[in-house]
Amino acid sequence: MSSHFITGLEFDKSQALKLLALASDMKQQPQEFAHALAGKSVVTLFEKPSLRTRLSFDIGINKLGGHAVYLDQQNGAMGSRESVQDFALNIATWADALVARVSSHHTLEVLAEHSSIPVVNSLCDLYHPCQALADFLTLQEVFGDVSQIKLAYLGEGNNVCQSLLLLAATLGADFVAVCPKGHSPDAQIVKQAEQIAAVNGASVLISDRIEAAVGANALYTDTWVSMGSDTSLEQAKTTFMPYQLNQALLEQTGASTVLHCQPAHRGYEITSQVMDGPKARILQQAENRMHAQNALLLALMNKQIV
Ligand code: CP
Ligand code: NVA
């Protein structure tokens, strides 16, 4: 097992299942893990805003008896005051792990290359693997065996969609991405997912037609406008409105469960009726960020899953 977690592909099916089992254990028996990170310090670095990721790591690490140090861009953008390489080399002299939310995946590759401590991707342009772990923990809580389900993602096919696609393929879940033309997930990542899915008996379908989501057990959406984009939600609406997660779509597909990574934009990618409705597991997902990440940190720092 790699000591880093930057694409999500570091875990195969059996390791990913062990990680989810550990997360579930930690959620149910928190007292048994209250000192699991005692004496350990984790730097959490953010080039972009965050609510869930920042707090779920900080509070989660605290619940394991560890210490989280938040770093934003107050000392200037990464790589401007000193190189990313030197940044990584220095942090590794004090800290036990580095969690980083960055604009470009390349920054994570450089951090990981020069870091003797585990580096965790907490969102980049290509992936959001911690989110996908929390989402599959949630799906496992709802459905049990996730290899039996079909998950349909609607909207912008970038980071969150791409990590879900890869983890679905790893865990053997069928995955459908329904995205407008020009917004499908990255072709290379789709190819990778197809290869992994074939090994694990799962299917991958990329479509711009809503009908492809019919029969899905769960529907998932994310913002139409990601952090760092200068498109407005009003502009995005013209392209994405047919892909809105609303009551009619829920009825058309027959899905029993609704997921959203948040931050959500009510009235845009999801309606309030659906977000606050009985099928939404959105706050369960947010809570599970902490449990999934705690398990991940333990696995990487204590080499607990091999
Ligand atoms: N889902 C998620 O990563 O939320 P934040 O951007 O608030 O961290
Ligand atoms: N796709 C979104 C996810 C936010 C958690 C973004 O990159 O802003």
Checking if the pLDDT of 42 tops 80, the result is: yes
Q: How far is the CA of 261 from the centre of ligand 2 (A)?
A: 8
Task: Tell me what pLDDT residue 77 has.
Answer: 83
- Protein residue closest via CA to atom 6 of ligand 2: 226
How confident is the model over 273-281, as a mean pLDDT?
98
Residue 214 has pLDDT above 70, yes or no: yes
Q: Is the pLDDT of residue 206 over 90?
A: yes
Residue 228 pLDDT > 90, yes or no? yes
Q: What is the pLDDT of residues 155-201, one digit of tens each?
A: 999 999 999 999 999 999 999 999 999 999 999 999 999 999 999 99
Q: What ipTM was predicted for this assembly?
A: 0.99
- pLDDT beyond 80 at 305: no
Q: Ligand 2 centroid vs 227 CA: distance in angstroms?
A: 6
Residue 82: alpha-carbon gap to chain centroid: 29
Best substitution site from 45, 120, 261, 269 to test ligand 1's pocket, by max atoms within 8 Å of Cβ? 261
Pocket of ligand 1 contains residue 163 by CB under 6 Å = no
Q: Tell me what pLDDT residue 1 has.
A: 57
Provide the pLDDT for residue 306: 56
Mean predicted lDDT score pLDDT of the chain = 96
Of the bound ligands, which one is closest to the alpha carbon of residue 132?
1
Pocket test residue of 47, 52, 281 for ligand 1, highest count of atoms within 8 A of CB: 52
Sheet with 41-46, strands from edge to edge, namely 67-71, 41-46, 97-101, 119-121
Q: Whose CA is nearest to atom 1 of ligand 2?
A: 226
Is the predicted pLDDT of residue 302 greater than 90, yes or no? no
Q: Residue 226 CA: which ligand 2 atom is closest?
A: 8
Question: In this predicted model, what pLDDT tens digit does every residue of 79-120 receive, in sequence order?
Answer: 889 999 999 999 999 999 999 999 999 999 999 999 999 999
Q: Is the CB of 51 under 6 A from ligand 1?
A: yes
Quote the pLDDT of residue 74.
79
Count of beta carbons in the 10 Å neighbourhood of residue 184? 18
Query: Relative to the CA of 130, which ligand 1 atom is closest?
Result: 3
- Token pair listed for 174: 């069928």
Ligand 1 lined by 228 (C-beta under 6 Å): no
CB neighbours (10 Å) of residue 106? Answer: 13
Q: What is the pTM of this model?
A: 0.98
Nearest atom within ligand 2 for CA of residue 53: 5
Closest C-alpha residue for ligand 1 atom 6: 50
Of the bound ligands, which one is closest to the alpha carbon of residue 262? 1
Q: How many CB atoms lie within 10 A of CB 94?
A: 10
Distance 161 CA to ligand 2 centre (A): 10
pLDDT at 296 over 80: yes
Confidence of residue 250 (pLDDT cuts 50, 70, 90): very high
Q: Does 285 score more than 80 pLDDT? A: yes
Q: What is the pLDDT at residue 78? A: 86
Taking the chain, what is the end-to-end CA distance rounded to the nearest angstrom? 6
